[in-house]
Chain A
């Protein structure tokens, strides 16, 4: 009777939110680095340094994979918190 409250839902949500916040902060950081990397790669290319394109693309790919992994993590946390 009286034990039916919805307080049990909130702690799980709250911890999920903190983990989500952390993942989101990391993703923002990675994207900022990627933006800088792209601009530096374009500058080098325009200046005629053709050899910088490959390492830049590789690192950019790694950064994107990092972002994607964090996104999957966020979705996982979201699903966990929605389980009854």
Chain B
């Protein structure tokens, strides 16, 4: 839908998994949810986070696909893999900085969130945003989100790669960019392998 953006706020996630179940109900991939649902630190806390595909501006998954099966449309949505072309090589699974694409070996195909394209192209919200009770996954106009305390951010650093996405993440106002390099979060600041980008 024009004028609406997708906002992800992990701090609002209550772990109800409504999004996971709602996504599963879609006929095209019944029983398989396209939501990436994380227990952030299960031994220590009950904090959870749910993520959808971030629909990057220059999608890494599309760029590494050897079969030219992943396409990004003019509206900025990165579509799931094209059935006739995908060979199930899982190049995209390895390449995505956010770990979004899911490989289904029994189908020999990759499936991923496509922002419920059948819904959003017809004026409806994606299923996950519709059912999320805390609006951790929200599909609203930017004005509504401007009223929140957190600010939306869509620039990520993944090692030396700078990723700009269509889906925005709500972060504290002081955060300039988000670094999603795995190594950065394995080690504490003192032992960081790569310096944090400024």
Direct contact of A and B (CB under 8 A): yes
Q: Is A25 an interface residue (CB 8 A)?
A: no
Q: Which A residues between 1 and 17 are near B, CB-CB below 8 angstroms?
A: 1-2, 4-7, 10, 13-14
Tell me the total A-B contact number using a CB cutoff of 8 A.
30
Contact with A along B65-88 (1 / 0, CB 8 A): 000000000111000000000000
Asked if A2 and B57 sit within 8 Å, CB to CB, the answer is no
Residues of B within 8 A of A10 (CB): 74-76
Q: Which B residues between 161 and 198 are near A, CB-CB below 8 angstroms?
A: 164, 166, 168, 176
CB distance from B151 to the nearest CB of A (A): 7
Asked if B74 and A2 sit within 8 Å, CB to CB, the answer is no
Residues of A within 8 A of B76 (CB): 5-7, 10
Query: How many residues of B sit at the interface, in one of the four size bands?
Result: 10 to 19
A6 to B75, CA, bound (A): 9
Q: Which of B74, B151, B164, B168 has the most A CB atoms < 10 Å from its CB?
A: B74
Q: Is B142 an interface residue (CB 8 A)?
A: yes
Q: Is B60 an interface residue (CB 8 A)?
A: no
Asked if A2 and B142 sit within 8 Å, CB to CB, the answer is yes
Residue of B nearest to A5 (CB): B166
Q: Is B155 an interface residue (CB 8 A)?
A: yes
CB distance from A3 to the nearest CB of B (A): 9
Of B155, B166, B176, the residue contacting A6 (CB under 8 A) is: B166
Residues of B within 8 A of A (CB): 57, 74-76, 142, 151-155, 164, 166, 168, 176
6 A-B pairs with least C-beta separation: A2-B152, A6-B57, A1-B153, A10-B74, A4-B164, A6-B76
A-B residue pairs in contact (CB < 8 Å), sample of 12: A1-B152, A1-B155, A2-B151, A2-B152, A2-B153, A4-B164, A5-B57, A5-B76, A5-B166, A6-B76, A6-B164, A14-B74
